[in-house]
Structure 1
Amino acid sequence: MTKHFLMLFILGSLFCSCSKDDNFQSAADSHTVLLDSSFIISKEMYLWNTGIKDNKDFNPSHFKTPLELLIEFRKYSPKNDQGLPIDNWSFAIEKETWNNLLQGSSNDFGCSFRFKDSQDLRISAVQQNSFAHKNGLYRGLQVLSINDIKATIANIDLISKEFNTNTKLSIVYFDKETQVNKTLIISKEPYVLEPVMANNYFDVNNKKVGYLNISTFINSLNNKLPVIFDDFKANAVEVLIIDLRYNGGGLTSVMENLANMLIPSGAVGKTMYTTKHNTDYAMFDSTTFFSASDQRLDLKTIYFIVSHNTASSSEMLINAIKPYTNTILIGEETQGKLVGMYTVPFHNYILAPVSFKTYNAKDESLEKNGFIPNYYKEDDVANDFDQNEGCISAALYHYKNNVFPTSKSKLRIEAKQEIVLIHNTLPFAIKDKTF
Structure 2
Amino acid sequence: MSLHSRVKTVALGRWPGRIAAVAAAVLVAACGGGGDGGPLTCSTADEKVWLREYMDDWYFWYKVSPSPDPSGYASVDSYFNALLYDGSLPDFPRADDWSYIVSQETYDRTFGDGRTLGYGLMVAGLEVTGHPDWPLLARYVEPGSPAALAGLRRGDQILAVNGKTSAQIIAENNYADLSPQNEGDMVTLDIRTADGDSRVQLAADIYDLQPVPSSRVLATPDGRKMGYIQVKDMIDQAVGPFDVAFGQFKAAGVQDVIIDLRYNGGGLVSVANKIASFPNASATSGNVFASLLYNDKRSGHNESFRFQNYANATGLSRVYVLTGPRTCSASEQVINGLRPYVTVVTIGDTTCGKPVGFLPQPDGCGAVVNAVNFESVNSKNEGRYFDGFDASCPVAEDFSQPQGSETDPLIIAAEDHADGFGCPTLAAAAKTKILGLRKPSERPHWVEAGERRGMIGK
- Deviation (angstroms), 1:200: 2.1
Does the residue aligned with 1:37 lie in a helix, a strand or coil? helix
2:142 is the alignment partner of 1:127:
yes
The corresponding residue for 1:420 is 448
- Structure 1 pair 347/230, CA: closer, same or farther in 2 (3 Å)? same
Does the residue aligned with 2:200 lie in a helix, a strand or coil? strand
- Deviation (angstroms), 1:93: 2.3
The corresponding residue for 2:417 is 398
The corresponding residue for 2:120 is 110
Mind listing any 5+ residue stretches in structure 1 that lack a counterpart? 21-29
Aligned 1:210-225 pairs, distance under 5 A? 210-225=227-242
Superposed CA offset, 1:225-258 (max 9, x none): 2222112212222211111111111111111111
- Structure 1 pair 295/186, CA: closer, same or farther in 2 (3 Å)? same
2:344 is the alignment partner of 1:294:
no
- Deviation (angstroms), 1:356: 0.9
The corresponding residue for 2:386 is 368
- Deviation (angstroms), 1:321: 0.4
Identity %: 22
The corresponding residue for 1:317 is 334
Q: Which has the higher contact order (CA 8 A, sep 6+)?
A: 2
Superposed CA offset, 1:122-165 (max 9, x none): 21000101011111111122334444554448855387355458
The corresponding residue for 1:27 is none
2:211 is the alignment partner of 1:195:
yes
Superposed CA offset, 1:75-114 (max 9, x none): 3444689x97432112222322211221233222111112
- Deviation (angstroms), 1:215: 1.4
2:105 is the alignment partner of 1:93:
no
Aligned 1:112-261 pairs, distance under 5 A? 112-114=122-124, 118-152=133-167, 155-157=170-172, 160=175, 162-163=177-178, 167-176=185-194, 179-204=195-220, 205-261=222-278
What is the TM-score normalised by the length of structure 2? Answer: 0.80
How many residues get paired? 410
Mind listing any 5+ residue stretches in structure 2 that lack a counterpart? 7-31
2:50 is the alignment partner of 1:37:
yes
Q: AA paired with 2:155?
A: G
Q: AA paired with 1:109?
A: Y
Superposed CA offset, 1:388-427 (max 9, x none): 112222111111234112112235168569983224x2x1
8 Å contact from structure 1 (residues 121, 143) kept in 2 = yes
**Equivalents in 2 of 1:16, 1:43: separation in Å?**
14
What is the TM-score normalised by the length of structure 1? Answer: 0.84
The corresponding residue for 1:267 is 284
8 Å contact from structure 2 (residues 290, 306) kept in 1 = yes
**Equivalents in 1 of 2:202, 2:239: separation in Å?**
31
2:384 is the alignment partner of 1:384:
no
- Deviation (angstroms), 1:317: 0.8
The corresponding residue for 2:24 is none
Superposed CA offset, 1:198-231 (max 9, x none): 2223211223211111111112112222222112
Structure whose residues are more often strand by fraction:
1
8 Å contact from structure 2 (residues 94, 386) kept in 1 = no
8 Å contact from structure 1 (residues 119, 153) kept in 2 = no
**Equivalents in 2 of 1:6, 1:175: separation in Å?**
54
Q: AA paired with 2:115?
A: S
Superposed CA offset, 1:355-376 (max 9, x none): 1111111211124311111122
**Equivalents in 1 of 2:293, 2:38: separation in Å?**
32
Decide which moves more: 351-360 or 125-134.
Answer: 351-360
Decide which moves more: 392-401 or 123-132.
Answer: 392-401
**Equivalents in 2 of 1:12, 1:247: separation in Å?**
35
Aligned-residue CA RMSD in angstroms?
A: 3.1
The corresponding residue for 1:337 is 354
- Structure 1 pair 153/222, CA: closer, same or farther in 2 (3 Å)? same
2:367 is the alignment partner of 1:356:
no
Does the residue aligned with 1:420 lie in a helix, a strand or coil? coil
8 Å contact from structure 1 (residues 79, 86) kept in 2 = no
- Structure 1 pair 154/109, CA: closer, same or farther in 2 (3 Å)? closer
Does the residue aligned with 2:83 lie in a helix, a strand or coil? helix
- Structure 1 pair 162/16, CA: closer, same or farther in 2 (3 Å)? closer
